[in-house]
Chain A
């Protein structure tokens, strides 16, 4: 089964559901390692910086978003590490997945309403189109 799994997460309910699927897959193989990746969106950079007292606080805030995901992984005894990327969510995830040769990319379908999705485009859709490995989208 898959050994190098990339889980794109932002702490939303969708990404929690994606985490449970990752756990199912990863627990089939003891040697598999999950990388949890969070993208600090460029378009949020200004307000992120404005609303945190220091870069340390900002790091902590971002890391805290992934707490529920990490808790699930830890409880299931999965080997994992966390990576925070800076960029535009879709392309950053794809670039990271392709460069590091992940075998499987798991991502939650995005928590936007249909209007937002029409205007912004869905991240998961862009990822599916450009990633070079199998992609699993969790509803």
Chain B
């Protein structure tokens, strides 16, 4: 136990603290931008990032992963905030936590394995597109200087890291361009125009909503969507961190941890959040491995806001927009284009459908659900195809059956046979098929008995062991009585 605590917390102290600081710096612009997307004060995202990171450091199942306020979650809450306000968002956050804890307890993480990768690829692409779309109103057609600042920010974040690796480029862009805007007195919208920064720690309070069934009905659909999307991104991120670090993690503990973090976070004025792919990759790349890195990220973020809050409101919006464009480019899965060429058509359709539904509904959960249903339909359609090929050899007709024989595929199986023949030798080869259920056996029965009716000789060959067992147990055709009555 003690050994485990030591390993999780203190086996990598120096690198964890340094990585945590780097992550905190990268988190600030994102937390602010995601608050703006959700339509709430920047403090809601900053408090969320602080609370979630600090809590998940203790209760999460994947050491070294960074969780905070995220774009995926922010995008889901837009209508709730617009129609009902921030208090309902906080209540929804608490309920999201409760749902995620329940998911964690019932080991829903295992179910997530059934989400096809086409849907996951669609998910990240849709997320990237939505983050980008959310930036458009902040730079399109405002002023020339806005375009210039967005452009310069992008140049800095993409070119500078080639030469200077130790300091995160977005931070340099923020500091340099904020200073430039202040000293040259350039007229631009700033973070301060969209909200205020409070230089104090979050405090406990119960969201001011009526405790009624009506409230529950308002927040529940949002909470369930937030819970699903949050866990989806979290588990994807955890798998990525697992791969990067070559270690395993406890996904159910992580699901529960996300729930605990969101539950508490809601009482401290934060919006619902989840694990972040980008930030977690930054953390691991910077050497972060243990729980200490996540804790440091949260604490240092809060420290920076308390100390530098007045400067943070001066950050010009175009700089933030530039950074978020970088985030969206980084989120997009660029190998999707080769994927579209190589993957089976049905997978490509699932991926594109997921993206389109999200882009039109602005709701990631709807896209994921539609994607899962669509791939399930494709799967059943594919698996219910049975092909039967006929060859004539040594005066006998050989039928080779390929595919899965079960209730959904029996029709295509039966259609393949011509029952009008008489006095023939018929061999049906099942060596490349599997019989799954009563319907499958029933179909074999039907074929054999129909052939018997016209005095054909039928031989069944190649059934695998489990199929043979099922046929022996259920089939009528090899029952003598049945044969007699057929003759």
Contact with B along A23-55 (1 / 0, CB 8 A): 000000000000000001010011111111111
Which residues of A have CB within 8 Å of B244?
42, 45, 86
The answer to whether the Cβ of B408 comes within 8 Å of any Cβ in the partner chain is no
Segment 86-139 of A: residues with Cβ below 8 Å from B: 86, 88, 119, 121
Partner of A45, one of B113, B117, B243, B334: B243
Segment 283-309 of B: residues with Cβ below 8 Å from A: 284-285
Segment 329-381 of B: residues with Cβ below 8 Å from A: 333-335, 339
**With known contacts A42-B281, A86-B245, A49–B335 Cβ distance under 8 A:** no
Report the separation of the CA atoms of residues A79 and B124 in the bound assembly, to the nearest whole angstrom: 43
A50–B281 CB distance below 8 A? no
The answer to whether the Cβ of B424 comes within 8 Å of any Cβ in the partner chain is no
A119–B240 CB distance below 8 A? no
A51–B335 CB distance below 8 A? yes
A52–B333 CB distance below 8 A? no
Report the separation of the CA atoms of residues A100 and B481 in the bound assembly, to the nearest whole angstrom: 76
The answer to whether the Cβ of B473 comes within 8 Å of any Cβ in the partner chain is no
Which residues of B have CB within 8 Å of A48?
243
Which residues of B have CB within 8 Å of A58?
243
Partner of B243, one of A40, A53, A121: A40
Would you give the shortest CB distance from A85 to chain B, in whole angstroms? 8
Which residues of A have CB within 8 Å of B333?
46-47, 50
Report the separation of the CA atoms of residues A110 and B239 in the bound assembly, to the nearest whole angstrom: 29
Which A residue sits closest to B278, measured CB to CB?
A46
The answer to whether the Cβ of B120 comes within 8 Å of any Cβ in the partner chain is yes
Which A residue sits closest to B246, measured CB to CB?
A86
Chain B interface, >50% SS class: helix
Chain B: interface size category: 20 to 34
Partner of A50, one of B120, B162, B245, B284: B120
Report the separation of the CA atoms of residues A48 and B236 in the bound assembly, to the nearest whole angstrom: 12
Chain A: interface size category: 10 to 19
The answer to whether the Cβ of B277 comes within 8 Å of any Cβ in the partner chain is yes
The answer to whether the Cβ of B87 comes within 8 Å of any Cβ in the partner chain is no
Which A residue sits closest to B247, measured CB to CB?
A86
The answer to whether the Cβ of B121 comes within 8 Å of any Cβ in the partner chain is yes
Which residues of B have CB within 8 Å of A49?
236, 239-240, 243
Report the separation of the CA atoms of residues A45 and B65 in the bound assembly, to the nearest whole angstrom: 14
Report the separation of the CA atoms of residues A37 and B23 in the bound assembly, to the nearest whole angstrom: 30
B124–A50 CB distance below 8 A? yes
Which residues of A have CB within 8 Å of B117?
50-53
Would you give the shortest CB distance from B486 to chain A, in whole angstroms? 47
The answer to whether the Cβ of B242 comes within 8 Å of any Cβ in the partner chain is yes
Report the separation of the CA atoms of residues A52 and B113 in the bound assembly, to the nearest whole angstrom: 12
Contact with A along B219-255 (1 / 0, CB 8 A): 0000000000000000010011011111000000000
Which residues of A have CB within 8 Å of B162?
119, 121
Which A residue sits closest to B330, measured CB to CB?
A46
Report the separation of the CA atoms of residues A121 and B339 in the bound assembly, to the nearest whole angstrom: 27
B121–A46 CB distance below 8 A? no
Partner of B240, one of A46, A53, A88, A121: A46
Which residues of A have CB within 8 Å of B284?
42
Would you give the shortest CB distance from B26 to chain A, in whole angstroms? 16
Interface residues of B (CB under 8 A from A): 113, 117, 120-121, 124, 162, 236, 239-240, 242-246, 277, 281, 284-285, 333-335, 339
Besides the known contacts A50-B333, A50-B335, A58-B243, 14 further A-B residue pairs in the complex with CB atoms under 8 A apart: A40-B243, A42-B281, A42-B285, A45-B240, A45-B281, A46-B124, A46-B240, A47-B335, A50-B117, A50-B120, A51-B339, A53-B117, A55-B243, A121-B162
CB pairs A–B below 8 angstroms (27 shown): A42-B284, A45-B240, A45-B243, A45-B244, A46-B240, A46-B281, A47-B333, A47-B334, A47-B335, A48-B243, A50-B117, A50-B120, A50-B121, A50-B124, A50-B236, A50-B333, A51-B121, A51-B335, A52-B117, A54-B113, A55-B239, A55-B242, A55-B243, A58-B243, A86-B246, A88-B285, A121-B162
Instruction: Name the 9 nearest CB pairs between A and B, nearest first.
Output: A47-B335, A45-B244, A49-B240, A49-B239, A86-B246, A45-B240, A45-B243, A50-B121, A49-B243
